[in-house]
Copies of this chain bind each other. A is one copy, B any other.
Amino acid sequence: MAPGLPDKKKAEDEQSSKKNLIHLCNPHLEQMKEDVLYHFALGTGTQDFPTLFGEVKHGMGIPSIAIMLHELIKLLHHAKCSSVTVIRIGTSGGIGLDPGSVVITRQAVDATFKPQFEQLILGKNVIRSTDLDEQLANELMQCSNEIAQFNTVIGNTMCTLDFYEGQARLDGAICSYTEGEKLQYLKEAYDAGVRNIEMESSVFAAMCKLSGIKAAVVCVTLLNRLEGDQINTPHDVLVEYQQRPQKLVGHFIKKYLGKV
């Protein structure tokens, strides 16, 4: 994640900064005396942020990242950060790519390959767009070309609620479909432009878009799901794969700061 840098020339930049401030789509927050970011163990009345940050741990999947984003977005807002870019990096299962390939997400799609995220609010389904920043994706692709160390593609990313049945794996405790049906589904995903599958991108894209945050998703693929479900690659190779999104985004941050 790369929050925007504090502006050096505060006075002259204040005007342009203001319009780039994090926008909280919630009118209730302004009326609260103190705002407690429960899962970050932070309150706006609390001073000792660094000590408290030591306790933070988060999990996997849409609920975990949604909780983190609600509180991160409020944190950025309370801190008056502006022009913020947030990049999710992580691992994923690939479709039709050599393991170790990196996917920069064009669109985060659901299990029916639609670029949307369904959010249940007061018991009703609300559909949100999962559009990501096209220019940012292209800039990240350019960074990968510059470091030229691994294969990188721009493609759609399917976001699921479940690692096993939700991703058509055959190796869960419960499985009601055949290998043929699994492969047909994954090929349909490929034909819809899906190049990898993970469990956070759709709510990440939707919440960043609503809050006016420029966002990208960069995930390495640990296996080619057309060839299997389990990860048998040696540990040291997986560790190197997992560093690839960090290398790519690290290069992007250094370039943005004028260090390369």
Contact = CB atoms under 8 A, between A and B. Distances in A.
Interface of A: 24-29, 32, 35-36, 38-39, 57-64, 66-67, 69-71, 73-74, 77, 111-113, 119-123, 126, 160-166, 168, 170-177, 179, 181-182, 185, 188, 199, 207, 210-211, 230-232
Contacts of A207: 173-174
30 contacts: A26-B170, A28-B170, A28-B175, A28-B179, A35-B171, A36-B232, A57-B57, A58-B59, A58-B60, A61-B64, A62-B63, A62-B162, A66-B162, A67-B164, A70-B173, A71-B173, A74-B172, A74-B173, A112-B123, A119-B165, A120-B161, A120-B162, A120-B166, A121-B176, A122-B181, A122-B182, A123-B185, A126-B176, A174-B207, A174-B210
Given A162-B119, A164-B67, A168-B122, A173 B58 contact: no
B173 A25 contact: yes
A67 B163 contact: yes
Given A120-B162, A162-B120, A232-B36, A174 B57 contact: no
B28 A173 contact: no
Given A25-B175, A120-B160, A174-B210, 14 more contacts: A24-B174, A25-B174, A26-B175, A29-B171, A62-B63, A62-B161, A63-B63, A67-B162, A70-B163, A70-B172, A112-B123, A123-B185, A123-B188, A161-B161
Nearest to A168: B122
Which of A60, A69, A207 has the most chain B CB atoms closer than 10 A to its own CB? A60
A24 B173 contact: yes
B59 A59 contact: yes
A117 B47 CA distance: 42
A60 B62 contact: no
Contacts of A188: 123
A211 B120 contact: no
A241 B55 CA distance: 20
B177 A122 contact: yes
A47 to B, nearest CB: 17
A168 B120 CA distance: 10
Nearest to A28: B170
A165 B121 contact: yes
A104 to B, nearest CB: 23
Given A36-B230, A60-B67, A62-B61, A173 B211 contact: yes
Given A163-B67, A173-B207, A38 B120 contact: no
